[in-house]
Structure 1
């Protein structure tokens, strides 16, 4: 299972965040990437000159192109250009677009030759601004924002290693010697025999979701802005330009001096937009914040000695649900939802309860199984917690605004319990804008009718699901249900 750096090194998440270090995953990539634009004016000591270093890597191609006589690898100067575009994978960064590996793709073979040929064509045409190479995702096949990120890491690996070395020392993380070259050695952490590269949070931006690697550039905002500027120059409607392929943009930008100068000038004036870790729309830190909150608030179970399995499972389930209520109401657990004016839906609450229950189960080594959205033939059950075939407790969650609230309590939960041959059930009501007294009255009326008919009456747990304010907020008024 993938874990964050802080967990691997037995540190707190805040230890990384307070230093501005991305608390990434080991063995799992994120949908973030490094944008070279964010290097502009960077005040981090190791990266003050990084933007110039990045551009200089491509500026040096100009000198090589002057001596190229043939664009194949028999020509020593062309071979040097290919080598300059050949970039190996950088390990353990936690960035990228892959689903299983925590490293980039690197550049080699045919792609390196393709980029070398492009560089030769661009420079030979007298287009020598190095910024054009930072925009390769706009004009080059098989190059997207993620590939630019990988290239940036490769070109600036020394800077990232120096940064990692300093951060590791400040956090007292165990390090090993890494021979960058025969005469340059860094002391950095290792994972699975390869060095870790810590990344500053303010150099990261959101990697737009796309169908594949090479489709990513289509949803990058500044790419679209650049394309619109080119469209204005050549007098083509934006709707038509949306259908253009990379080769079309390449011909337009490299074949039209006005287009080229506009694109380069626009890029020079751009500033990068870092990922907003405060709102954290991609939930980069959702799991680690939740995990640390649960560790700070351990589950305390009642004494279960002498109980039969049915009662034991029910009491464990009830304790988890009451702890969930406490975390939401008193520890502002629901703040994980209320970002960017977003309101959680029922699935959010279900997933949060499932995560809380599963974490407590593992932490306390509870001999239970937690199943979410099982379908026994009468619909999908929110949860049921079992202990083999000996005991089963079903949990149903409904928001107070749900039109099927009462139906869920009396009919759905009972049907799920029959289908699962469950001994007990619990009904959780997430209170939002509805009146607690009105909801309690309505459910009370249903319970009275159930009592008259001799039906099983599940316990109801009401949870204040409204946005909870900090105790330091002058308008804070705790609302207990």
Structure 2
């Protein structure tokens, strides 16, 4: 149980499992239940702190503003890059990865990735430009992902975590004291008594309110940036003067254009800043577009629905591994098609993101193996991408399962998967699992043709499996409605695929 290597998650362990009896308490207190041996792809958005219902976040907002106000005052006093005030301001732009919250992009560890000194200098320069325009609100740090290449959602989240570290520590200590969670003193965290992460005993676990989390901080998501910033016609016109054809622009070019637009005048900056400030919403656990909360429910819930009788699992071998993975896929198909698990693929009338489907498959695979005492380990990149299956008793060969939604770039995905499988020296088999949520069109025909071509030429190719993940309507209206949906979606998706 734990990590397999630097990139993959094996048998995820929730805080509520490692510290038994806390699941209900976490829900009651509105706190996120982290996976301790992998980062969850959620991030702290500083714009959400002020509206949090958690009592400790009032102090956190004050702490955040004081932290970055001090840095801004030093930058304001700086006359040249590298002078004493500039050097002192660097201490407030601390890009240290914060593994204590188990949030971000860390894969099967919670250590994140290193960040360059150059990135900190670019953040300081942009902040200095904003100050010189006449704006000194501490929340300007929240916009850096909008303006700067290399500043991602994890950067903003970690900057914020560092700024409010004392309040997160206080919140966690208080929770653990009230719910009898085992802790120990950590000298680098104000000597507070905090729970130890069993997968990194040098660091504590810090709990985070769910209502300050987003799947992407608003200023990190270009679709959100454009949605809120371009409500202002003046900003939209100014942006277009810098960008040319936005449909052909790279993300770097879009960031540069919005930065130049914002920094062209105090009026423009404040128009963007004020719109963004009022537009951020926390990740919705009810819609759950990435199935992050449903994943937790599945791996920690009752396994009775995943139990099969009469399974006779043989000794580790390539043949047996392939047979067991087929059983897993068949059970996933049954749960989706016959047991209402299709509901977790949809948010009302819209399919959830592909990553949500991948995480759902991983959860079903993990619970199926656990429920049936099967000695293989499903592994994934922390909720996205291919799932690998390996026998856990030292068997090194593996099977790769790639999960794709039919509405996406299925043909391109199949070509990529075949290429990876053919070049892999330790993959025994590969399965390309398509979940049909509409928009299939001619894609299945196209990949069947690729499959036949590869087989005819004596090359390895990924096996194709299909699961019906369509929304289930009443029997009287299902067929007609789905036909209409298909006609509309297939034409559009065939054009995108080509």
TM category, shorter: 0.5 to 0.7
Q: CA shift at 1:328, angstroms?
A: 7.8
Alignment of 1:123-138 (within 5 A): 123-138=131-146
Q: Deviations over 1:15-42 (max 9, x none)?
A: 4223211112123223221111111232
1:281 is paired with a residue whose SS is coil
Aligned to 2:294: 286
Q: Return the offset for 1:141.
A: 2.9
Please tell me whether residue 88 in structure 1 is matched to residue 96 in structure 2: yes
1:231 to 235, 256, 265: 235
SS at match of 1:285: helix
Q: How does 1:321-360 map to 2 (within 5 A)?
A: 333-341=341-349, 359-360=367-368
> Which structure exhibits the higher relative contact order, with contacts defined as CA atoms closer than 8 Å and separated by 6 or more residues?
2
Counterpart CA distance in 2 for 1:358 and 1:205 is 26
Q: Report the equivalent of 1:221.
A: 224
Residues 303, 121 of structure 1: alpha-carbon distance in 2 compared, 3 angstrom cutoff: closer
Deviation at 1:129? 3.1
Change (3 A) 1:63 1:241: farther
Match of 1:390 in 2: none
CA distance in 1, matches of 2:98, 2:367: 33
| Separation in structure 1 between the aligned mates of residue 468 and residue 261 of structure 2, nearest angstrom | 59
**Contact preservation (8 Å) 2:15, 2:36:** yes
Cα 1:115–1:28 change in 2 (3 A) is: same
Unmatched segments (≥5 aa) in structure 2? 1-9, 313-323, 377-390, 392-397, 403-432, 441-466, 477-498
RMSD: 5.3
Q: How does 1:172-251 map to 2 (within 5 A)?
A: 172-180=180-188, 184-191=190-197, 192=200, 193-207=202-216, 217=220, 219-222=222-225, 224-226=227-229, 229=232, 231-232=235-236, 234=238, 236=240, 240=244, 242=246, 243=249, 244-251=253-260
Give the 5 Å matches for 1:286-435: 286-295=294-303, 299=307, 301=309, 333-341=341-349, 359-366=367-374
- Structure 1 counterpart SS, 2:31: coil
Contact 1:3–1:26 (Cα < 8 Å) also in 2: yes
Aligned residue in 2 for 1:43: 53
- Aligned pairs (5 A) from 1:35-184: 35-72=45-82, 75-105=83-113, 109-180=117-188, 184=190
5+ residue gaps in structure 1?
210-215, 305-315, 375-395, 403-427, 437-481
Structure of larger gyration radius = 1
**Helix, strand or coil: the match of 2:29?**
coil
Distance of aligned partners of 1:60 and 1:332 in 2 relative to their CA distance in 1, 3 Å threshold? same
Please say if residues 47 and 139 of structure 2, whose CA atoms lie closer than 8 Å, have aligned partners that are also in contact.
Answer: no
Judging changes above 3 Å, is the alpha-carbon distance between structure 1 residues 321 and 37 closer, same or farther for their aligned structure 2 residues? Answer: closer
CA 1:41 to 1:274, structure 2 compared with 1: closer, same or farther past 3 Å? closer
Give how far 1:152 is off.
0.8
Please, which of 262, 270, 277 is the counterpart of residue 271 of structure 2?
Answer: 262
What is the CA distance between 1:107 and its match in structure 2?
5.6
Distance in 2 separating the partners of 1:362 and 1:17: 25
Contact 1:164 1:197 in 2 (8 A): yes
**d(CA) in 2 for partners of 1:281, 1:39:** 22
2:72·2:89 contact (CA, 8 Å) conserved in 1? no
Task: With the length of structure 1 as denominator, give the TM-score of the two structures.
Answer: 0.62
